[in-house]
Chain A
């Protein structure tokens, strides 16, 4: 059974703006699911509905089999949320605010658990500091600590590494992996494709309130990936010979490299023909290499493609 089942979920705000259109999605227990989408695509609205912050216009959401409207207490106890905005109580101390969060979820105080979380997030030394004295990155850690204070089985991370430094980003990735090992399901939205590529098991792409794709990350990259073949020429050339125009080659490296982009999904990649054409044109090369498209390339291509259709 999916840990989260979203069925035909729609949301139209009072302003008339439709943020979600008939979204259906199933998140499996223990997976890391990355939700990608441009600004205003509906990522945060989707998360906020599941967490109880926004009321859906129609559709249902079940968390571990519990309807978020009917059995909201059980559903919400399962979830931890790290919001996108750095919203903190400026005058509170780290320890107090994290303990407060645990209390909100109906749990008895557990200083040992709170200490473990704060140590894992390198916050223990700052436990008596007021939040207003912390840096942005530290505040982000506090929000994560608050979300983990009640030992959730599902963790939502809404743009978790927006505006944080490289070190903290690495720390967070490590933490997310550790959580997965403990059986926690992680759903993250991100602008950093690198983040999804690094961590996600599955990827969903949302655009204009509609889920346009849900796919295993590896399969997605295999299925949609484009490759670049770079040929290192023995002698530089000034222009691509006209007889090779069909291959839409790009000249790079001061005329010493020819770059050919091809679709791995295509029945014919055109590589054989290209190599034959190069030999016929008298162009020789001493090395070659291929590169797989990054997830970012795939994402941009997909969003553009869908945008073109719209």
Chain B
């Protein structure tokens, strides 16, 4: 099992794309089983026994597992009993526990990932490439995934594993390759390396010490949410508790609407970072939408600096000092084909330096973009390149810079460091801490539990649209949070009492 780690934009994804035949190398060779090969498409890679599990799953929700697996490789084992037998066989051999007839839309994230792995194995892969497989999993699921991967390894398969989470890499890999700015900077053997050493190899310099800072929480409430409830807008819920039910029973009960947010109440004070932990799809997106105003609250109120902003449109909220780092930067945070300086205007088109009254001020926006590029170390050759040509981490730095430039009083930070390398991560954290010292209130939503624990002053756990638990970030462990995220624990999480709680049946 080989792990590949590196900063964002270091070239990990490009390397994997070349290995999987999605991109052609300009120079150099690839050798599979001692034989030099060249791939012109993923199909070539698959025939050579290389398979890839993408970070974003490529499954059709409304098909069954069986249908998803055979899709595109119907020739191998047919689409009927033969394929089913083969799926069963693979599933049993590697302990994947996949049910061929379940609908994919009924499956949780971890199950979907297993389906993806099975899909690759079904096509006869001997080498698996996993692109950040743990980004979307809770700790218990990560453990289960690693057990599966070890199973694969013991059967003689090879696994290439891309991750940002250095602790995981060290615990699971047999060998680690670190790449930086497109070249290999070294290999490491996990037994002789600490996460810190690895991280330093990645960024090529000494790391700043993250975490721990004196509390800056004041007693001045900035945002107060009371009994916020949002109904699902049609369609079946994909909540992890959803049991595969018979066809035709999409509605929970006659006349009852599924609540995606149910009576959420919290207050964030100036200088406070409130972290929200939860498995994706438990209401985080709706909470963000309701706070920024792209979705209306069905009941409940949101007060900002003592003023009821529930009926305000998005623009008014943003103008009055709500900053927003969206969870999906490509869809919500950027205009990918527009130059950087136009992206700097996005979301703040009515504010200086981007506009003078009715008119746009391109000059002001351009100058300020240069400042952001400089201050936030956005690596780009200039401000006229399109946002799409920057790597994910640099795009994120631009967004953080943009939002911070308008001195927000309340910041919604959704996965602020997702897919961002260690160096940029530390920078973004520092920026948030800095603003917090000056009285910024932050709502932090993240899948990275270490980030949540390290950055938050208070922690809440969201499950099925409700805030079910709270915890003190100073004492709680990722495992304890994980059990609350799957609904197994609730209330105030006390470190000592929760320690022995059995968690394995949580899924």
Asked whether A and B interact, the reply is no
Interface set of A (CB-CB < 8 Å, partner B): none
